[in-house]
Amino acid sequence: MRHPRPDLIRLKRFYRYSLYAVLALLFLSGGAWAYWNYLAASPGDFEASSKAWAMKIHGAAATAILVLIGMLLTAHVRFAWRAGRNRANGSLFLTAFAVLAVTGYALYYAGSESLRAWASWIHLAVGLVLPILLLIHILLGKRTRPEVRAQRSHHFPGKTGARVSQ
């Protein structure tokens, strides 16, 4: 199967929305934790409690995202890779998730405080960039859909030589 059908690559609505919801929860809970950890003026009981809850929610969402990424690897990534679509950005996106998983693990289990500090800053930086990577991945994915390329070649003859087979 060299060129899988486009409907095999595109995520079903339930999985797409589940992925977006978990990613939003990860981003918001991580951002909230970072705010209460680095920017909150005077840590009181509310801030300490909120910071702890943000970390608990972030950890639960991290577990869910690992399951969802496993699901993506079996279909979405495999079919898109075979079709040659969005490979560079998809690889960057998966690399970002791998960095987040490794640095998240290091934050919990690293024995060295200096290693934990490095892991924390790397985790925060990659986590803040992830929504931008997701948006780029979605936009590039839409641009490389065969039906989009077929519409472009219909409206602008000679601009693309893409063939659509159904």
Q: Would residue 138 be called left, alpha or beta, if left means φ above 0 and alpha means ψ between -120 and 50 degrees?
A: alpha
Per-residue pLDDT of the chain (166 residues; tens, 9 = 90+): 455 555 567 778 888 899 999 999 999 999 999 998 888 877 788 888 999 999 999 999 999 999 999 988 888 888 888 888 888 888 998 999 999 999 999 998 988 899 999 999 999 999 999 999 999 988 888 877 666 444 545 554 554 444 444 3
Q: pLDDT value at position 86?
A: 82
Quick one: pLDDT at residue 147? 61
Q: How far is the C-alpha of 43 from the C-alpha of 48, rounded, in Å?
A: 6
Residue 89 pLDDT: 86
pLDDT reported for residue 166: 39
Q: What is the pLDDT of residue 11?
A: 78
Tell me the two tokens of residue 128.
Answer: 């803040």
Secondary structure (3-state) at 159: coil
pLDDT at 46: 85
Q: What is the pLDDT of residue 148?
A: 46
Kindly list the distances between the CA atom of residue 33 and the CA atoms of 16, 56, 119, in Å, as whole numbers in the listed order: 26, 10, 15
Confidence (pLDDT) at 68 = 93
User: If you ran DSSP here, which 8-state letter would residue 144 be given?
Assistant: T
State both tokens at 46: 């509310």
Q: What predicted TM-score, i.e. pTM, was given to this entire model?
A: 0.78
Closest by alpha carbon to 65, among 33, 91, 98, 90? 98
pLDDT of residue 157: 52
| Structural domains of the chain ordered from first start | 6-155 (1.20.950)
DSSP H stretches of helix in the chain: 6-9, 13-34, 45-72, 78-83, 87-109, 113-143, 146-155
